């Protein structure tokens, strides 16, 4: 088995499932966490991830198929999406794809799912389609405040990892998001994003 990525939370291996390439995601234990709490968290995130990976398909989001789940080992085996993470695309492509990412996030929110870790590495472009991955921190929620937390994070990621294209990609993201949730919901959520940001600034000053 080939180790593809060593993440902060999980290790990702390339493996086989019925002769197809597959991804094995194993959540590792964290030494600093109490061991009972640690296994609870890993199990919970494994359950959450495998459930939501499947659930989002019902409203048209593309995501890897879940092949196998082992809760004791905090393992998921899923379809490999052999594309390119949006994070690694050229800047002009990221700008272009931001509108579709905004739409996908709008669709998730409209269906009561907060992703919880909206980074450009968690979207994979494959055969001109964008797949969404990494649902371990997702939540079922219709609360505008929770949806605003999602937008705040992706905005922050665009700002830090893709600073040169921040404005155009953020604008495109918002256009896509608006096309799904509508004007008044967009204003509600972006106002909440602004208030999270101003609290952040205030906290940084004192």
Ligand X SMILES: Nc1ncnc2c1ncn2[C@@H]1O[C@H](COP(=O)(O)OP(=O)(O)O)[C@@H](O)[C@H]1O
**HEC secondary structure over 99-155:** HHHHHHHHHHHHCCEECCCCCHHHEEEECCEEEECCCCCCEECCCHHHHHHHHHHHH
Residue 173 C-alpha from the chain's centroid: 14
Pair 91, 161: CB distance under 8 Å = no
Using CB under 6 A as the binding rule, whether residue 132 contacts ligand X is answered as: no
CB of 9 to Mg ion, least distance (A): 8
Using CB under 6 A as the binding rule, whether residue 197 contacts ligand X is answered as: no
Rounded Cα distance between 144 and 157, Å, is 20
CB of 105 to ligand X, least distance (A): 16
Of 119 and 185, the one with the shorter C-beta distance to Mg ion is 119
Contact stretch for ligand X (CB under 6 A) within 1-9, 89-97, 162-170, 178-186:
1-9
Could you confirm whether 38 is annotated as catalytic?
no
Q: Which residues are catalytic?
A: 117
Question: Contact positions toward ligand X, by CB under 6 A?
Answer: 4-5, 7-10, 12, 23, 25, 64, 78-81, 85, 121-122, 124, 133-134, 136
């Amino acid at each position: 088995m080939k180790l593809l990525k060593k993440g902060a939370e999980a290790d990702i291996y390339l493996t086989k499932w019925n002769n197809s390439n597959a991804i094995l995601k194993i959540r590792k234990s964290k030494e600093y966490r109490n061991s009972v709490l640690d296994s609870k968290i890993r199990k919970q995130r494994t359950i959450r991830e495998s459930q939501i990976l499947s659930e989002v398909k019902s409203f048209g989001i593309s995501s890897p198929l879940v092949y196998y789940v082992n809760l004791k080992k905090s393992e998921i085996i899923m379809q490999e999406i052999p594309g390119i993470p949006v994070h690694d695309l050229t800047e002009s492509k990221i700008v272009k794809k931001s509108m579709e990412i905004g739409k996908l996030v709008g669709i998730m929110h409209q269906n009561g799912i907060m992703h919880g870790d909206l980074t450009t590495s968690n979207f994979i472009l494959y055969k001109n389609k964008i797949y969404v991955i990494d649902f371990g921190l997702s939540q079922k929620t219709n609360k505008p405040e929770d949806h605003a937390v999602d937008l705040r994070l992706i905005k922050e990621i665009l700002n830090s990892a893709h600073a040169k294209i921040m404005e155009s990609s953020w604008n495109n993201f918002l256009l896509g998001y608006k096309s799904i949730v509508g004007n008044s919901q967009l204003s509600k959520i972006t106002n909440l994003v602004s208030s999270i940001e101003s609290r952040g600034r205030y906290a940084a000053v004192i």
